[in-house]
Amino acid sequence: MAALARSWATKPGIGLVASVFWIGLAALPLIGSVWESPSFDYYMFMGQSMLIYAISVLGLNLLIGFNGQISLGHSAFFAVGAYTAAILMNFGGIPYWATLPVAAVVCFGAGFLFGFPALKLEGHYLALATFTLAIAVPQLLKHKSIAGWTGGVGGLLLDKPDPPFGLPLTADQWLYYLCLAVAMVLFWIVFNMLRGRSGRAMMAIRDHAMAAGTMGIDTALYKTATFGISAGITGVAGALSAITIAYVAPDSFTLQLSISFLVGLVVGGIASLPGCMIGGAFIVLVQNSSQSISDWMKDTFSLRYDVPAWAIYGTLLLLLMFFLPNGIAGGLAAIRSRLGRKS
Amino acid sequence: MEFFVQQIASGMTSGAIYACVALGLVMIYVSTDHINFAQGEMAMFATYLAWAMIDAGVPYWVAFGSTILVAFFSGLLIQRVILKPLETAPVLALVVCFIALLSIFNALAGMIWSFTIKQFPSPFPRIDIFGNGLVSAQQIGVVAVTLVMLAILTVFFRYTTLGLAMRAAAQNATSARLMGVRVSWMLALGWGLASGIGAIAGMLVAPIVFLDPNMMTGILVYGFAGALVGGIANPLGAVAGGFIVGVLENLVGSYIIGNELKLSFALIMVVGVLLLKPAGIFGRVIVRRV
Amino acid sequence: MIRRRTALLSAASLAIAGQARAQKKYAPGVTDTEIKIGQTMPYSGNASAYGVAGRNQAAYFRMINEGGGINGRKINFISLDDGYSPPKTMELARQLVERDQVAFLFYPLGTQTNTAIQKYMNQKKVPHLFLATGASKWGDPKNFPWTMGWQPDYHTECRIFGKHIVANIKDPKIAILRQNDDMGNDYIGGFREGLGAGWEKLVVADATYEVTDPTIDSQILQLKNSGANVFMNITTPKFGAQAIKKVAEIGWKPIHYLVSVAASVGAVMRPAGIENGQGIITAQFAKDVTDPRWATSPDYIEWKAFMDKWNPTANQLEGSNVSSYIVVHALVQVLKQCGDDLSRENIMRQAANIKNLEIPLLLPGIKVNTSPTNFYPIRSEQLARFEGDHWTLFGDLISVEGG
């Protein structure tokens, strides 16, 4: 897995591929000017969701894929980011775009703090602690002592922002660009971090923590910092989701959300940056098609019941662990290297 | 004073539930070195199988016994088919598998039996032990069965060859293999036993909390807390930990922080124990040598 | 001359064509042969027990389609799973409105979930009809002209309980158990209103619980310990059953009020133990199908026939199968009233124009009424006491002004 991470980063032409990819994504909303479709704004909204999930998976990937820790509780940081943005917009009158850096900082702090106890926990234990965190968070959000700020169980309703400077875009197109810009910035930051010394230190800790320690890497600092950065990234995604959905409520941030991130990560490919985008798109697409998949399965296998969505995800996860442990990105890379070997 | 006693008694009874679940968790941990996140859902699914049998007219004890057997073999099967190929995979892959199993069992139970609660019969007579409805025979029964299981397991692990072989396989597979232990089968056996214990836990708990697919989710967290507090490698510790968690949760909820923060309290306990004494109150620290 | 006649003829034909066009007005999703309706329901996750309602309604629409539809148009009912998660509901609402082009949303379930999409539905001017939630905020035509609630709301129901306690019980000492969420909060607000200005003196204990709590035994003990003689039980089915059972087990005999959400015979009273539920009071607006007094009434017979034929796998003891049946009748009436003008404006207009509609399985005397200033279709309930193995009505219909 380490080799995989290094190889694509140093491949020549990676910059070109990435540029083409991002430019392509940026061009998508412009199709709306040409293709008159009443659903176009809906597709823009879906695009926003995919980008938001991709950013969340990026945060999780940094921690799990590149630093070897584990977290089943990233829904907590997503929630903190979302509520930070919501509270700032609602009570502080702060413009939506300014809430993003604040959410990043707040979640970095939360992640860093959680990273301290996480230092002493490995593997299963850390998974357990973060699992408990994910389950405890919705209840915490509802607590009456902070209900004045969080809106308690009813949540906070927000206003959806309009495009600035009177640009000829719909609100959804503008928000899509916002999510895209944020995604580009975050991916670029992570990409550079991974290529540099910090990235190598992180990955060294992942591959053999004890050896890394003896080599002079301050493992404690790096691990807590990585937890913080990972939380910060996912927190920004949470803030974006508060802006695009225009509503935050405790029931939006359950264990199911953490599991969705995990699914996206595993499907896209652990320790793969392109995999984060694949994972993000996957979460949204599969959640939308679970009804169709269930209908298809009902017809093909003459089942009596609807196949529930989570049974499908679970089975998918298992199959992936067996056949595609490096996710789709890993699978593509394997195909590419095999083709490369042939020629 | 009477209220205090009542809360302790009530805490002991929920503690018995947690202790029961914790036993299954310990079983998996001792025999395979893993934490099984799907333990609760597997127990719930087994309980539904028992319910379906009883609903179809099968007598209670026959259903009880058959369910344990079915659970045992399913656990074995899951280990052989799904987990064994991933023996050498990183921890993340295993955690993902457990989460996957959790989702599958929960969704399947909801699909087959719907999410409406069902009544599950209790094998214990409906007598009132102390005359004030404080503790029912069912709850005493849970405590009794848990202690019996604990005794059997302790004896099994400490005094039988098979138990020793299982512990060896979990702690040091290579050496165990050199000693002639069939490691893979030990792991499978561990899973089978854990599933069986889980099934018993589910069938004991369901009469109290009513059977529904989300029955175990809340309990699992407290079960984890109990297992950790007492020592996840130690059956006695896990049971003790379960009772401690049950009583503390009630007392803290009634007197200190109110009922709305019970889960956060569980979280603090989990994190606290993991930080301060990861081996638990009754556990022994294992030093890892490089 | 000929030119003038031609001109007259063309003018006349234009006028007639214009009138014909004006007579048939279609919202997106409506054609000569089809009406597309959208819905979001929790079919997965914690609240999945409520998904029973959606399935029942799907069966009802199948029956209608078999009979030729409404005014010759078949119903294309798209009910999607939102897992009770507001962001998902938002996504699905947008999908239904913008991609699938449904005419309107019908009976979407959940308070937080509907809160998330209310502003959107009103901005898009899509009818957001007959919400499946008891929250009291849905009857606000001035600010949200496209959203209409349905059932007697939680606030109103608990106000009825509060008033009943004050009027009938001397020196009440009240203990409350409630779920720590918006439903619980809504109920408690109405309850306090019903008790009147001195409610703080009357309530001696107030315990909450979370849906993740395994048992509520600890809370019940706390409540009994307060010395209360009245118990206001504000729970959802699973915990309602646990509470009823525990209260009986510890020998506490308060006057027990139970919210209608947790009063289903099949989902709550039977699992809790029939003998434990004797004397419990609840409020109802629908007939209890296990009450033998309704066994011969034609609406019960019709409902049973429908369930047996079109939704045979459903549990007939579940209250959702009755409440979902009732509301779908109201929708059919609205659509019939629309005739050929199925524009969204007219659908909303007709929804706000229901006059004295009697629906099968509503309690006798309860009529559905809406107007441009009244967006609370059902505003009456009647108290019932659990006797034997079913709910027995007593007293009169109680009508409350909405909100």
Q: What is the mean pLDDT of residues C302-318?
A: 89
Rank A303-307, B230-234, C78-82 by mean pLDDT and report only the highest: C78-82
Which residues are bridge partners to C380 per DSSP?
A: C399
Question: Whose CA is closest to A183, among A286, A100, A80, A83?
Answer: A100
Q: Which of A193-202, B39-48, B164-173 has the lowest mean pLDDT?
A: B164-173
Contact (CB<8Å) B274/A128: yes
Question: What would the pLDDT profile of A257-275 be if each residue is shown by its tens digit?
Answer: 998 898 899 888 888 888 8
Contact (CB<8Å) A42/C94: yes
Q: At what angle do helices A171-195 and A2-10 cross, to 10 degrees?
A: 110
Tell whether B153 lies on the interface with A, counting CB pairs under 8 A: no
Contact (CB<8Å) B103/A123: no
Tell whether B267 lies on the interface with C, counting CB pairs under 8 A: no
Closest partner residue to B6 among C52, C221, C238, by Cβ?
A: C221
Within a 10 A sphere around the Cβ of A152, how many other Cβ atoms?
Answer: 20
Question: Whose CA is closest to C311, among C105, C47, C36, C61?
Answer: C61
For residue A194, pLDDT over 50 is answered with yes
φ/ψ (deg, to 5) at A326: -95, 15
For residue C21, pLDDT over 50 is answered with no
Q: CA A153, CA C111: separation in Å to the nearest integer?
A: 10
pLDDT at position A82 is 95
Q: CA C324, CA C150: separation in Å to the nearest integer?
A: 11
Contact (CB<8Å) A252/C28: no
Q: CA B123, CA B126: separation in Å to the nearest integer?
A: 9
- For the record, the structure tokens of A334 come out as 């394997």
ipTM over 0.85: no
Tell whether A38 lies on the interface with C, counting CB pairs under 8 A: yes
Q: Can you list the domains of chain B with their CATH numbers?
A: 2-123+133-276 (1.10.3470)
Among B residues 32-91, those touching chain A with beta carbons less than 8 Å apart: 34-35, 37, 82, 85-86, 89, 91
Interface size between A and C, measured as CB pairs under 8 A = 82
Q: CA C206, CA B67: separation in Å to the nearest integer?
A: 41
For residue A92, pLDDT over 90 is answered with no
> Is the distance from CB of B275 to CB of B43 less than 8 angstroms?
no
- Which residues in chain B have Cβ-Cβ distances shorter than 8 Å to A144? 260
The pairing of strands C34-41 and C74-81 is parallel
Q: CA C315, CA C49: separation in Å to the nearest integer?
A: 12
Task: Give, in order, the Cα–Cα distances in Å from A123 to each of A129, B88, B93.
Answer: 10, 14, 11
Interface of chain A toward chain B, CB-CB under 8 angstroms: 64, 70, 72, 117, 120-125, 127-129, 131-133, 135-136, 139-140, 142-144, 210, 259, 262, 266, 270, 305-311, 313-318, 321-322, 325
Q: How far is A33 from chain B (nearest CA, A)?
A: 42
Radius of gyration of chain B (CA): 19
> Is the distance from CB of B43 to CB of B216 less than 8 angstroms?
yes
Cβ-proximal residues to B135 (8 Å cutoff; 6+ apart), any chain: B9, B13, B129
In a domain, A308, yes or no: no
Contact (CB<8Å) C115/A306: no
Between residues A89 and B265, the one the model is more confident about: A89
φ/ψ (deg, to 5) at C73: -110, 135
- Which residues in chain A have Cβ-Cβ distances shorter than 8 Å to B274? 117, 120-121, 125, 128-129
Report the amino acid identity of residue B61.
W
Contact (CB<8Å) C86/A251: yes
Closest partner residue to A310 among B91, B107, B224, by Cβ?
A: B107
Q: CA B126, CA B141: separation in Å to the nearest integer?
A: 11
Q: How far is B275 from chain A (nearest CA, A)?
A: 6
- Which residues in chain B have Cβ-Cβ distances shorter than 8 Å to A310? 103-104, 106-107
Buried-state track C74-91, b at ≥16 Cβ within 10 A, e below 16: bbbbbbbbbbbbbbbbbb
pLDDT over 70, % of chain C: 94
Among A residues 249-268, those touching chain C with beta carbons less than 8 Å apart: 249, 251-252, 254, 256
Contact (CB<8Å) A132/B93: no
In a domain, A3, yes or no: no
Contact (CB<8Å) B13/C217: yes
Contact (CB<8Å) C87/A241: yes
Contact (CB<8Å) A317/B34: no
Tokens 């927190």 — which residue? A235
Q: What is the mean pLDDT of residues C378-394?
A: 89
Tokens 């959400």 — which residue? C261
Mutate to test the interface with B, among C218, C238, C261, C270 (most CBs of B within 10 A): C218
Q: CA C22, CA B152: separation in Å to the nearest integer?
A: 82
Q: What is the overall mean pLDDT for chain A?
A: 85
> Is the distance from CB of A327 to CB of A278 less than 8 angstroms?
yes
Cβ-proximal residues to C109 (8 Å cutoff; 6+ apart), any chain: C40, C41, C42, C47, C50, C53, C54, C131, C132, C133
Among B residues 162-201, those touching chain A with beta carbons less than 8 Å apart: none
Question: What would the pLDDT profile of B58-76 be if each residue is shown by its tens digit?
Answer: 898 899 999 999 999 999 9
Q: How far is C267 from chain B (nearest CA, A)?
A: 6
Q: Can you give chain B as a three-state secondary structure string?
A: CHHHHHHHHHHHHHHHHHHHHHHHHHHHHHHHCCCCCCHHHHHHHHHHHHHHHHHCCCCHHHHHHHHHHHHHHHHHHHHHHHHHHHCCCCHHHHHHHHHHHHHHHHHHHHHHHCCCCECCCCCCCCCECCCCCCCEHHHHHHHHHHHHHHHHHHHHHHHCHHHHHHHHHHHCHHHHHHCCCCHHHHHHHHHHHHHHHHHHHHHHHHHHHCECCCHHHHHHHHHHHHHHHHCCCCHHHHHHHHHHHHHHHHHHHHHHCCHHHHHHHHHHHHHHHHHHCCCCCCCCCCCCCC
Q: What is the dihedral of CA A30, A35, A40, A45, to 10 degrees?
A: -20
pLDDT at position A9 is 52
Contact (CB<8Å) A325/B93: yes
pLDDT at position C402 is 46
Q: How far is C114 from chain A (nearest CA, A)?
A: 11
Contact (CB<8Å) C250/B259: no
Task: Give, in order, the Cα–Cα distances in Å from B288 to each of A64, A163, B171, B249.
Answer: 23, 58, 11, 33
Between residues A186 and C137, the one the model is more confident about: A186
pLDDT over 90, % of chain C: 45
Closest partner residue to B278 among A125, A127, A318, by Cβ?
A: A125
Contact (CB<8Å) A321/B100: yes
- Which residues in chain A have Cβ-Cβ distances shorter than 8 Å to B92? 64, 70, 270
In a domain, A245, yes or no: yes
Question: Whose CA is closest to C376, among C201, C133, C179?
Answer: C133
Mutate to test the interface with B, among A1, A72, A124, A256 (most CBs of B within 10 A): A124
- Which residues in chain A have Cβ-Cβ distances shorter than 8 Å to C45? 254, 256
C229: exposed, middle or buried (Cβ count in 10 Å: 0-12, 13-18, 19+): middle
Tell whether C253 lies on the interface with B, counting CB pairs under 8 A: no
For residue C188, pLDDT over 50 is answered with yes
C131: exposed, middle or buried (Cβ count in 10 Å: 0-12, 13-18, 19+): buried
Question: Whose CA is closest to C283, among C131, C111, C107, C154?
Answer: C154
Contact (CB<8Å) C215/B217: no
Question: What would the pLDDT profile of C238-259 be if each residue is shown by its tens digit?
Answer: 899 999 998 988 889 999 999 9
Question: Whose CA is closest to C216, among C165, C250, C192?
Answer: C250
pLDDT band at A302 (very low <50, low <70, confident <90, very high): confident
Closest partner residue to C181 among A153, A241, A308, by Cβ?
A: A153
Q: What phi-psi label fits residue C283: left (phi over 0), alpha (psi between -120 and 50 degrees) or beta?
A: beta
pLDDT at position C6 is 52
Tokens 């599958």 — which residue? B104
Q: Which of A37-46, A58-67, A230-239, B126-135 has the lowest mean pLDDT?
A: B126-135
Q: CA C224, CA C231: separation in Å to the nearest integer?
A: 9
- For the record, the structure tokens of A261 come out as 């991130």
Question: What would the pLDDT profile of C127-154 be if each residue is shown by its tens digit?
Answer: 999 999 887 788 888 999 999 999 888 8
Tell whether C31 lies on the interface with B, counting CB pairs under 8 A: no
Count of domains forming chain A: 1
Mutate to test the interface with A, among C81, C118, C143 (most CBs of A within 10 A): C81
Q: E strands of C51-198, at which residues?
A: 74-81, 104-106, 128-129, 174-179
Question: Residue A205 belongs to what domain range?
Answer: 16-254
pLDDT at position C18 is 45
Contact (CB<8Å) C112/A157: no
Contact (CB<8Å) B263/A121: no
- Which residues in chain C have Cβ-Cβ distances shorter than 8 Å to B107? 44
Closest partner residue to C318 among B116, B128, B133, by Cβ?
A: B116
pLDDT band at A4 (very low <50, low <70, confident <90, very high): very low
Q: CA A214, CA C375: separation in Å to the nearest integer?
A: 72
Which chain C residue shows the shortest CA-CA distance from B120?
Answer: C271
pLDDT band at C303 (very low <50, low <70, confident <90, very high): very high
Which chain A residue shows the shortest CA-CA distance from C79?
Answer: A291
Between residues C12 and A197, the one the model is more confident about: A197
Three-state DSSP at C154 gives helix
pLDDT band at C385 (very low <50, low <70, confident <90, very high): very high
Q: What is the mean pLDDT of residues A171-186?
A: 91
Q: How far is C240 from chain B (nearest CA, A)?
A: 11
Tell whether B125 lies on the interface with C, counting CB pairs under 8 A: no
pLDDT at position B174 is 84
Q: What is the mean pLDDT of residues C7-35?
A: 65
